[in-house]
Structures are given as C-alpha cells and as structure tokens.
Amino acid sequence: MALWKFFTKKSKKDDKNECVENKEQNKHEVEDNKEDLIENTKEEKTKDIIENNNVKINEEIGINDEIVEEKTKIIAESNNIELSKESWFARLKKGLSKTRDSFTYNVRKILNFGEIDADTLEELEELFIQSDIGTNITFDLIEKIEKQSILGKLKNSDEVISFLKKEFIKTLEIETREKKSTKPSVTLVVGVNGVGKTTTIGKLAHHLKKGGSKVMMIAGDTFRAAAIEQLEIWAKRTDSVIVKHNEGADSASVVFDGINSGISKNMDFILIDTAGRLHNKVNLMKELEKIKNVIKKANDNIEIETLLVIDSTSGQNGLIQARSFKQVVDIDGIILTKLDGTAKGGIIFPIVSELKVPVVFIGVGEGVDDLRFFDSEDFISALFD
Amino acid sequence: MFENLTEKLGDIFDKLKGKGKLTEKDLDITLREVKLVLLGADVNFKVVKDFIKNVKEKSLGSEILKSLSPGHQVIKIVNEELVDILGGENEKIIFNSNRVTKIMLVGLQGSGKTTTCAKIAYNYKAQNKKILLVAADIYRPAAIKQLKVLGDSIGVEVFSMGDKEEPWKILKAAEEYAVPKGIDLIILDTAGRLHIDENLMEELSLIKQNNIVDETLLVVDAMTGQDAVNVADKFNEKIGLSGLILTKLDGDARGGAALSIKKVTGKPIKYIGVGEKINQLESFYPDRMASRILGMGDVLTLIEKAQSAFNEEEAKELEKKFRKAEFTFEDFYKQLQQIKKMGSISDIMNMIPGMGKLKKMQDVQVDEKELVYVEAIINSMTKEERIRPNVIDGSRKKRIASGAGRNVQEVNRLLKQFEDMKKMMKNMGKMQKMMGKMPGFPF
Ligand SMILES: Nc1nc2c(ncn2[C@@H]2O[C@H](COP(=O)(O)OP(=O)(O)OP(=O)(O)O)[C@@H](O)[C@H]2O)c(=O)[nH]1
Ligand SMILES: [Mg+2]
C-alpha cells in the first residue's frame, strides 16, 4: 500500500468519527494546538488509537517519556494519519498570496472589461508562465480559452476562472498505481541537491510515529558533509530508529543493512534518505539503481516506494529532473516542498501531465508539522483564492 | 520543448529565405521565438518582455534589416544584449588592506551556501590568504557540523558558538577571535531563509547593522524558476547585496535565473558552482552563460566564423558582379576558399539553423567530394580561363581535366552549371534574394 494512503485529509462524510475527532481536537487545542490528530475509520480501533494518542500528547509535554511500544499491535494499515486540513490550507494560501496576487484576482484584473482579445490573452499567458507552468501547457490553455471565447462559451472572468480550475484539476488528477502492502513499508526518497529530502523524511517520520507506527530511517546519504548527523537529529526529534554507516561508506551497503535490521526489528515503515544528485550525472543515478536492487536482494517481497522531492521554486528543469529520475528508478509519487515561499510550484503541472505520477505531499515549512497531504482541489483553490 | 533554438530559428529562417530583407513582421516572428526560448530557460517573464522590446528597438534602429543576413544579425543582437546584461564589472572579492575582510553568504534554503562558503575558502587559501569560516546557521540540523567537516577537509578553521547565539554576535566574536590571529578573510555562513520571512530577514539586517560586512553575496540555485526575481529583489531591498553566486550549473538547467537576478539587482555574478567537490567553483563568463540560456552556441560560432571569413564589403562587391553577371570562376574559387576557412561543409551545414535536421534526410546529402573536385578543376585553370571561361576549348578542357585528375565530362558539367548560374543571376533583379540565407554564399 502506498505510503500516502496512510494519510488522509479530513473526510466530511465521516460523521460518526467526526464527533470523536472533534472531542479529540478540543483536547488537542487545549494541550497543544499545533498537534495533529489521529483518526481511525474502524470504530473498534478508535479507543485504542485515542489512548495511544493521549500517551503521545503526554509524552510531548514531558509527563510521560515512555515509548508506547506495546501499542504497535495496532498495525499501520488501520491508522489514518490526518494531516490537518485547516492549517495547511490557510498556510498554503498565506504562502501563495504573500507577495503576489492570486490567480482569481489576476484573471479578474486582466478581464476587467470582460473582453477576451489578443491583449488579454497575452496577459493570461504571462500569468501562467509566472507560476512556472511552462510554455507548453500555457499555450495549450491560451488556445483553448481563445477557442472557447470565440464560441461564446467563455464570456467573463468568472467563466474563465472556473474553466481554468477545471483544466488544472484535470491535469493533476490521475490514476495511481496500487502497490501491494508489505511490512515493512519501504520508502526511498530521492531528488536533486537541497530540495528537502532529509527534512521531508523527518516530517514523515513524525506523523507516522504519531500514528503509533514503528519507524526506521536509513542514512543513505553517505556523501554530503554531516548529512548523517542531520538525519540523526531528525531521528532523535521524532523518536525513530536510525541505521547509519560512516561518511564515505557505500550507500547501497547501509541500505542493505538497514533493510535487514528493519525486518528483524519488525518495523512498520522504513524511510531511506539518499544523497542529493543532479539527474544528469550518470554514475550517481546508477547508484540509485543499485540501492533499489540491494533492497530487493535483502528481501525480494518488499515493495519499494520511490518518492521524488521537487522544490517548488524550481523552474522548467524540474520536468527534466522528474523525467530522468523516473527513467532510472521509477517514481511512485512526488513531494513538492517549500510551498511556504512565494513560488507557486507550477512545474508540477507539466510533470504530472507528462509522467502521470501523482503529487502526494507538500512541504510548507521547516518544522515537523509542516507536511501536508496533497489534494489537487485544495492546491488549485489555494492558487485561485 | 524548446531545447534547441538552432532548430527553431532554422524553421523561421527557412521561411524567410529568399526574402533577403526582414520586414518588421518577420522580426516580430523571430523575436517571438527568442521569447519562447528565454521563457523555457526560466528567465522571468517581465525581464523577457523588457528584453524583447529592447532588442526590437535596437534592430529597427539599426541597418540590420537591410543587411545581408538579417536573421543572423537579430540573433547577434540578442546575444550581445544578453552578454551585456549578464556582464559588467566582475571583480572578485576586494580585500580590505587595513582590517580583516568579512563576507557573508545568504539565500534560500538548499541553494548551496554552506558548500560555497567552503569553496571560496579553498579558493583563497590557495592564494595564501588566512581564512576563518564562521558558522551562523543556527537552525538547520547539523548545519554547523557540515561547515566543520568541510573546513577540516581543507584545513581551514571553523568558528562556532553553537546554535544559541544570535548571528550578529557570532560574527562580532569571530572578528575578535580572528584579528590577533592575522586572519585575512572571514566567511560567514548563514541559515537558508525565505525572503518573506520577516524575522529571519531582520536577523540578517542585524548582522549588517552591528558589523562592517564587505560583501553580501546572494547564493542562487541555477534551477530556480520565475520566482528568482522576487527572491533577489527582496534580499537586495532588505539587506543590500554586493554580488551573486550561481550554483549547481553542473546540472542541465539553462539557468535563466542568472539573467533575472542580474537584471533585477544589477549586481555582478562573481562565481558559479559547477559541482559538489570543494574545488568546483569557477569564474563567471557572461558570454558562456548567454549561449547556455539561448541553447545555441553553434549558431553564434557560425555567425562569427562567417563574418571573419567574409566581410560585408567583399559581399557587396560580389553582389554587384552578380548583378552584372561579371561573376567569374576566379570569384567562385575565392568563395570556395572562404567556405573552407569556415570548416568542412558538413560542419557548416550542422551549424546552419535547420540544416542539422535536413541533413538527416537521405536525399539531402552534401557531397564533400564533389566540392573538392570542383576546386581541383578550377585550380587547374589558368587565370585567363577563370575570368573568361568561354576561351576554354576542347584541348584546354583536356588539359584542365588531366591537371585536376578528373575527366572531361566533369569539366563540361562544371562549365555548364556555371553558365546556368550566371544566366539565372542575370535574370534576377535583386541579388539579395540569393544572399539572404547566408552571408557570402552565392549558390
Ligand atoms: N521553507 C522551507 N524550507 C524547507 C522545506 N523543506 C526543506 N526545507 C529546508 O531546505 C533546506 C534543505 O533541506 P534538506 O532536507 O537538507 O534537503 P536535502 O534534499 O536533504 O539536501 P541534500 O541532502 O543536501 O541534497 C533546509 O534548510 C530545510 O530546512 C519547506 O517545505 N519549506
Ligand atoms: Mg539530505
């Protein structure tokens, strides 16, 4: 099962659980209003989870520093680890509208007089380009808008806005491959230098731990100075197990050891950090291939999930990155980081559209809580509202 | 996408071929393509807009539309403009002779500040400067450790006060520590931060308010997209920059961000990072960057080669000859020599926009040998024969053929082709029509 399937956004239909949730939420807000909560769709497990959650809360405020090892009989699959929607949405919106105006505002401004002519089309073009969507999708959209407006189907800014929203959602919503569920669930995090791989692993671990799972990190970046120490700090922060070798050691061999250790320690999740690498470096890309092979060698039954981290400030090179990584190690999902800045992360549109790989998480800051489940509708709303 | 401007422009030039003169509309089409290339390279759209407007004005204002190869001239202006924006004073760090020189590196998270600090240290250590690296990234886990590891690896001391002290105080203390030791250069590594993070930007201001900082360098990832201008603008506005460093240029990003940040801040790009290793820091060359952004080093090389091999005066002279059908084998021979100066025919074909594509097609094969034979035949002619080919009778043909190592039929063919060419030229009112595609190519 895909790692991100363990995370859900709040479901409005789930009324029964909503009560429990709300109660739980109040408690959270009193004790630590930043804390996310755990939601369980299976009723009989709810009590268990809440109990677990209480322990975690206590632990965090320093009353009980014992790890809830015995609680791990709640297998990972039963947890729906909620990434609180409210706060991500607000934060994302805040980020996206900080120094520049939203799409909606801009489209309205451009189509002030309700007329779609060559000038307004050019301004719309600039609006799309500005968000790093790229020239291909931009021209495609412009052409569509032009055609529709000639046909009289797009007459004003409202119609253009809803048309755009629909088009964007269509691009982002794709069928995802279903992977079989294995224990441990192994996630390989890859990407170019400095995009936020290590930090994202820290954030993921934090949420998985809160769901009561056993989490292990493998320090696969044996190259960059102090990369291992960096991950160690995240392991400590999130109370995860870490497997590491020395700097300069073979990355594949630490991964091999880690996987074996993770299996014997009965881990639910293993998160593998890798060194940042530019996608045009053949040898470094081969190393990733080797890492994947070595996981299979450790245990042939393990399904590996490979997540590519893309920095939202990235321009058109992001697409080339994604293409290359997909070709070499196959990518199951994308994590879009640094959305708390002013970049809009439009590069995911050409990526998703071409490679048919879903965006699964977004990063909105440097703290443990700054990870959000990706929801295309919310993402687009945040772009527009 | 538009990975190859050469191909793209090749298509346009093909369309313009035989026109000789560019109209304003042709110019717009060409510039539209240039615009797409720049956007594809991540140059900010506002910067692109201004840029195109500028190039258009320059093109219209000059004589280029009437020149022999207007298409190439436009691209040349584009390139010159790019180099112009990217360039400017490119002095390295200026050392203060009276006291220790202090520089600090700032930028977004993950742009490569820490590594670059160590690279600069390594660079100046090799020039016998005494360096102190100072760790002021008090936020990112293991950032201080990272700088220490790097410092150790190059034998440069790293000053740190842990992660509890404020960065401006760290720099003050570092200076106090450095002065008695005779340190020449202090390099301050700061935490990555968002340009919109008020508190953290204030933290940087405080460093400068409480210390004399000689250089404040913004480190920018070459892969950055449209947002680069916002970032550079804010950093410059809030703390004042003295220069820029572009990192990760060993990747395949076209690096349009370089143009954006340079344009917005007006600050020189002092270094580029071209690898993860400590010695992979290089000087910045505006012309290389311009070619990279355009993705078209080849075309520019071709234009330069064509220009050095064939000056415009000569071209005009030839044009006159063509018009009056005074073109002789002598002139033709000169042309051949000029082509040779520019490299092999296939090299040249590869460099001509659009030709690379054409050459792949089976039926458009350039026969290098054929030209060698033609040259040999002309070589074997006397001066008189070259200027007045109608004196060439049967026995002369035999002599020419044996001198060139070819047969008489081939000599006949060449003479006939040459006559046809002259007839064609005579009929054509304006020679520009033929000259339009390439400078100095009358065929
Ligand atoms: N503002 C912001 N910063 C982030 C986010 N994610 C990561 N960062 C920061 O980006 C910087 C680089 O993050 P890392 O996690 O070290 O990136 P990495 O991909 O592991 O880097 P390398 O291993 O060096 O290639 C750090 O300063 C992080 O704190 C995010 O979502 N928002
Ligand atoms: Mg890392």
CB contact under 8 A, B153 and A225: yes
Identify which of B13, B1, B20 has the alpha carbon closest to the alpha carbon of residue B355: B13
pLDDT value at position B45? 94
In chain A, count H helices and then E strands: 14, 11
Kindly state whether residue B316 falls inside one of the protein's structural domains.
yes
Under 8 Å between Cβ of B73 and B64: yes
Q: Is the dihedral of CA A111, A113, A116, A122 positive or negative?
A: negative
Within 8 A of B256 by CB-CB distance, chain A residues are 315
pLDDT digits (tens, 9 = 90+) for B360-404: 433 334 566 677 788 889 889 998 898 888 899 999 999 999 988
Q: What is the mean pLDDT of residues A10-38?
A: 39
What is the Cα B280 distance to its own chain's centre?
20
Distance CA B399, CA B376 (A): 12
Give contacts of B 21-80 with A, CB under 8 A.
36, 39-42, 44-45, 49
Q: CA A236, CA A233: separation in Å to the nearest integer?
A: 5
Q: Which of A58-72, A158-172, A253-267, A317-331 has the lowest mean pLDDT?
A: A58-72
Task: Please check whether residue B295 is in contact with residue B2, taking contact to mean a CB–CB distance below 8 angstroms.
Answer: yes
Mean pLDDT across chain A, nearest whole number? 79
- Both tokens of residue B312? 């415009």
Question: How far does B231 lie from chain A, in Å, by closest CA?
Answer: 8
Of residues B32 and A82, more confidence is placed in B32
Residue B152 within a domain: yes
Which pTM was predicted? 0.76
Q: Which residue has the tokens 């090749």?
A: B10
How many angstroms separate the Cα of A146 from the Cα of each of A113, A117, B145, B377? 16, 8, 56, 60
Chain B interface disruption, residue of A224, A237, A317, most B CBs within 10 A: A317
Distance from CA of B49 to the nearest CA of A (A): 10
Q: How far does the centroid of ligand 2 lie from the alpha carbon of residue A338, in Å?
A: 15
Q: What does DSSP say about strands A371-373 and A359-363: parallel, antiparallel, or unpaired?
A: antiparallel
For A47-56, what is the mean pLDDT?
41
Residue B92 tokens, joined: 């390295």
B203 and B308, same domain (yes or no): no
In a domain, B95, yes or no: no
Residue A167 and residue A155: Cα distance in Å, rounded? Answer: 17
Min distance B433 CA to chain A CA atoms (Å)? 33
Q: Could you tell me which of B139, B234, B244 has the C-alpha nearest to residue B196?
A: B234
What is residue A361's three-state secondary structure? strand
Structure-token match 């240039």, residue found: B34
Q: What local confidence, expressed as pLDDT, does residue A63 receive?
A: 29
Q: Tell whether B270 and B382 lie within a shared domain.
A: no
Among the bound ligands, the one closest to the CA of A368: 1
What pLDDT score does A41 carry?
37
Structure token pair of residue A364: 């909105």
Contact B190, B167 (CB under 8 A): yes
DSSP for B251-266? SS---HHHHHHHHHH-
CA distance B308 to B311: 7
Poorest-pLDDT segment among A301-305, B215-219, B348-352, B403-407 = B348-352
Give the DSSP H or E segment for A2.
Answer: none
- Domain assignment present for residue B155? The answer is yes
Higher pLDDT, B440 or A164: A164
**Min Cα–Cα distance to chain A from B143, Å:** 7
Read off the pLDDT of residues A349-367 as tens digits, 9 standing for 90 and up.
999 999 999 999 999 999 9
CA distance A13 to chain B (A): 37
In a domain, B342, yes or no: yes
Note whether B309 and B236 are same-domain residues. Answer: no
Could you tell me which residues come within 8 angstroms of residue B170 by beta carbon, excluding any fewer than 6 positions away?
A: B134, B135, B136, B159, B160, B161, B188
Backbone phi, psi, residue A215, to 5°: -120, 135
With cut-offs at 50, 70 and 90, classify the pLDDT of residue B325: low
pLDDT above 70: percentage of residues in chain B: 73
pLDDT tens string A238-291: 999 999 999 999 999 999 999 999 999 999 999 999 999 999 999 999 999 999
Q: Is A197 in the pocket of ligand 1 (CB under 6 A)?
A: yes
Indicate whether B105 and B51 sit together in one domain. Answer: no
Rounded distance from Cα B219 to ligand 2 centre (Å): 18
Higher pLDDT, residue B4 or A69: B4
Which range of A59-68, A177-186, B33-42 scores highest in mean pLDDT? It is B33-42
* Shortest CA distance from A124: residue in chain B: B45
Question: Does residue B416 sit in the same domain as residue B347?
Answer: yes
Coil, strand, or helix at residue B340? helix
Do B257 and B110 have their domain in common? yes
Pairwise CB contact (< 8 Å): A314 & B148? no
Selected residues 207-226 of chain B with any CB under 8 Å from a CB in chain A:
221, 223-226
Asked if B274 and B312 sit in the same domain, the reply is no
Computed over its alpha carbons, how large is the radius of gyration of chain A?
22
CA-CA distance, A45 to A37, in Å (whole number)? 15
Residue with tokens 């190393």: A287
Stronger pLDDT, A171 or B2, i.e. the higher one: A171
Phi and psi (nearest 5°) for B252? Answer: -110, 20
For residues A376 and B267, which has the higher predicted lDDT (pLDDT)? B267
- Count of structural domains, chain B: 3
Whole-angstrom distance between the N-terminal and C-terminal Cα of chain B? 33
B321 has pLDDT over 90: no
Q: At B77, which CATH number?
A: 1.20.120.140
Domain boundary among B62, B86, B110: B86
| Distance of alpha carbon A305 from alpha carbon A302, whole angstroms | 9
List CB contacts of B274: < 8 A, sequence separation 6 or more. Answer: B249, B250, B280, B281, B282
Other beta carbons less than 10 A from residue A63's beta carbon: 9
Question: Are A212 and A55 contacting, i.e. CB atoms less than 8 angstroms apart?
Answer: no
Structure tokens at B77: 């202006």
- The CB density around residue A265, as the number of other CB atoms within 10 Å, is 13
Q: Which of B293, B317, B337 is the C-terminal boundary of a domain?
A: B293
A203 CA to middle of ligand 1, Å? 11
SS3 B412: helix
Residue where a domain stops, chosen among B32, B55, B86: B86
B contacts of A101 (beta carbons < 8 Å): none
Are A201 and A271 in contact by the 8 Å Cβ rule? The answer is yes
Measure the CA–CA gap between A86 and A72, rounded to whole angstroms.
28
Q: Give the C-alpha separation, B441 to B315, whole Å.
A: 9
Measure the CA–CA gap between B14 and B17, rounded to whole angstroms.
5
**Confidence class for position B261, pLDDT limits 50, 70, 90:** very high
**DSSP letter, residue A156:** S
Q: If contacts are CB pairs under 8 Å, which of residues 222-281 in chain B contact chain A?
A: 223-228, 230-231, 234, 248, 250-254, 256-257, 276
User: Does residue B276 sit in the same domain as residue B171?
Assistant: yes
B110–A230 C-beta distance less than 8 A: no
pLDDT for residue A30: 38
Task: Dump the DSSP string for B90-154.
Answer: ---PPPPSSS-EEEEEE-STTSSHHHHHHHHHHHHHTTT--EEEEEE--SSTTHHHHHHHHHHHH
Q: Mark whether B285 and B332 lie in a shared domain.
A: no
Query: What CATH number did the domain enclosing B384 receive?
Result: 1.10.260.30
- What is the CA(B81)–ligand 1 centre distance, in A? 36
Pocket test for ligand 1, best of B106, B108, B109, B231 (most atoms within 8 A of CB): B109
Is residue B141 within 8 angstroms of chain A, CB to CB?
Answer: yes
User: What spacing in Å lies between the alpha carbon of B253 and ligand 1's midpoint?
Assistant: 20
Residue B292 has a pLDDT of: 86
CB distance B439 to ligand 1 below 6 Å:
no
Q: Which two tokens stand for residue A42?
A: 């299976």
Contacts of A96 in chain B (CB under 8 A): none
Banded model confidence at residue A173, pLDDT cuts 50, 70, 90: confident
Interface test with A, best of B138, B227, B234, B252 (most A CBs within 10 A): B227
Chain centre distance of CA A176? 15
The pLDDT value recorded for residue A67 is 32
Is B194 an interface residue toward A (CB < 8 Å)?
Answer: yes
- The predicted structure's pLDDT at residue B224: 98
pLDDT computed for residue B345 by the predictor: 54
Confidence of residue B329 (pLDDT cuts 50, 70, 90): confident
Ligand 2 is an ion; its neighbours by CB within 5 Å are A 197-198
Query: pLDDT tens digit string along B415-431?
Result: 888 887 777 666 654 43
Which string of DSSP letters, residue by residue, matches B75-95?
HHHHHHHHHHHH-S----PPP
CB-nearest partner of A340 from B45, B194, B225 = B194
Contact by Cβ (8 Å): B18, B436:
yes
Residue-averaged pLDDT of chain B: 82
Ligand closest to Cα of A224 equals 1
Residue A192: its chain B contacts at CB < 8 A? 223, 248, 251
A7 has a pLDDT exceeding 60: yes
d(CA B78, CA B91): 25
Partners of A359 in the β-ladder: A334
Q: How do beta strands A304-311 and A185-190 pair? A: parallel
Taking residues A210-237, report their average pLDDT: 96
pLDDT of A62 reads 31
B2 Cα–ligand 2 center, Å: 32
Whether B78 and B143 share a structural domain: no
Partner-chain residue, chosen from A135, A193, A227, that has the shortest CB–CB distance to B1:
A135
Distance CA(B51)–CA(B33), nearest Å, equals: 13
Alpha-carbon torsion, ordered B403, B406, B412, B415, to 10 deg: -60
B96, pLDDT greater than 90: no
The SS3 assignment for A269 reads strand
Cis peptide before A184 (omega within 30 of 0): yes
Higher per-residue confidence, B246 vs A60: B246
**Range B23-51 average pLDDT:** 89
Q: Which of A128, A135, A193, A234 to substitute to test the interface with B, most B CBs within 10 Å?
A: A193
- For residues B281 and B219, state if they share a domain: yes
Confirm or reject: Cβ of B412 under 6 Å from ligand 1.
Answer: no
Confidence of residue B234 (pLDDT cuts 50, 70, 90): very high
pLDDT digits (tens, 9 = 90+) for A197-215: 999 999 999 999 988 999 9
Same domain, B249 and B125: yes
List CB contacts (< 8 A) between A202 and chain B: 141
- Categorize the per-residue pLDDT at B311 as very low, low, confident or very high, splitting at 50, 70 and 90: low
* B243–chain A nearest CA distance, Å: 21
Query: Which is higher by pLDDT, B45 or A97?
Result: B45
* Chain segment B275-308, per-residue pLDDT in tens: 999 999 998 989 888 888 887 654 555 555 555 5
Assigned domain for B94 exists? no
Q: Helix or strand or coil: residue B55?
A: helix
Do residues A222 and A275 make contact, with C-beta atoms less than 8 angstroms apart?
yes
Number of alpha carbons in the 13 Å side-chain half-sphere of residue B304: 7
Q: For residue B65, name the pLDDT band (cuts at 50, 70, 90).
A: low
pLDDT surpasses 70 at B231: yes
Residues of B in contact with A338 (CB under 8 A): 108-110, 194
Q: How many A-B residue pairs are in contact by the CB < 8 A criterion?
A: 152
Give the best-scoring range by mean pLDDT among A57-71, A232-246, B19-33, B392-406: A232-246
Please report, as a single letter, which amino acid is at residue A335. Answer: I
Ligand with smallest separation from the Cα of A193: 1
Query: Is the predicted pLDDT of residue A38 greater than 50, yes or no?
Result: no
User: What is d(CA B189, CA B103) in angstroms, rounded to the nearest whole number?
Assistant: 9
Q: How many whole angstroms separate alpha carbon A226 and alpha carbon A221?
A: 9
Rounded Cα distance, B343 and A311, in Å: 44
Task: Quote the CA–CA distance of B17 and A329 in Å, as a whole number.
Answer: 46
List for chain B the helix, strand, coil content (%; round to 5).
60, 10, 30
CB-based burial, B331-362: b 16+ in 10 Å, e otherwise: bbbebbebbeebbebeebbebbbbbbeeeeee
On whether the CB atoms of residues A305 and A230 are closer than 8 A, the answer is no
**CATH, residue B150:** 3.40.50.300
Residue A158, pLDDT score: 84
How high is the pLDDT of residue B334? 75
Q: Is residue B375 part of a domain?
A: yes
Atom 30 of ligand 1, residue of closest alpha carbon: A338
Given a cut of 60, is residue A298 above it in pLDDT? yes
Report pLDDT digits (tens) over A110-148: 877 667 888 888 888 988 999 999 999 999 999 999 999
Predicted pLDDT at B24: 82
Q: Among the atoms of ligand 1, which is closest to the Cα of residue A201?
A: 15
Q: Please state, in angstroms and rounded to a whole number, the distance separating the CA atoms of residues B38 and B78.
A: 11
Burial (0-12, 13-18, 19+ Cβ within 10 Å), A243: buried
In the block, residue with structure tokens 């192994």: A186
In sequence order, the β-bridge partners of residue A240 are: none
Residue from B226, B231, B246, B250 whose CB has the most chain A CBs within 10 Å, to mutate: B226
Mean pLDDT value across residues B55-70: 73
Domain that holds residue B29: 3-86
The answer to whether position B214 is within a domain reads yes
Sheet strand arrangement including B185-190: B157-159, B131-136, B185-190, B101-106, B215-221, B243-247, B269-273, B281-283
